[in-house]
Amino acid sequence: MNILPTAAKVFFILLIAWSIILNLWAFILMGIDKGRAKKDKSRIPEKKLFITAVLGGALGALLGMTVFHHKTQHRSFTLGMPALFILNLAFCGLIVYLIIKLFITA
């Protein structure tokens, strides 16, 4: 069944692409920062890691924390990233709801 118009489908594709790109970027940033930490080189600011998570990359940051064992002793990360992930999910859910409501009821 094809109930959504093309504009809504394009929007959903863009939302998914945005999410994939930001989560991949957050994961990569965690890996780069861990590598720099091991080599005692200049680090990626925590603010940049959090901004990436706030914009939709919290899952990638969480996966990066787990895979690279990075920032796992920092309370701001161990509590903040899961909270941001929940907010990311809620925001995406709200956007999906609004788009469906806009196009289905129109």
Amino acid at 18: W
Identity of the residue numbered 8 = A
- The first and second tokens of residue 99, run together, are 């788009």
Could you count the other beta carbons within 10 Å of the beta carbon of residue 23? 23
Q: What is the pLDDT along the chain (106 residues), one digit of tens a residue?
A: 467 788 888 888 999 999 999 999 999 999 999 999 999 999 999 999 999 999 999 999 999 999 999 999 999 999 999 999 999 999 999 998 998 888 777 6
pTM score of the predicted model: 0.89
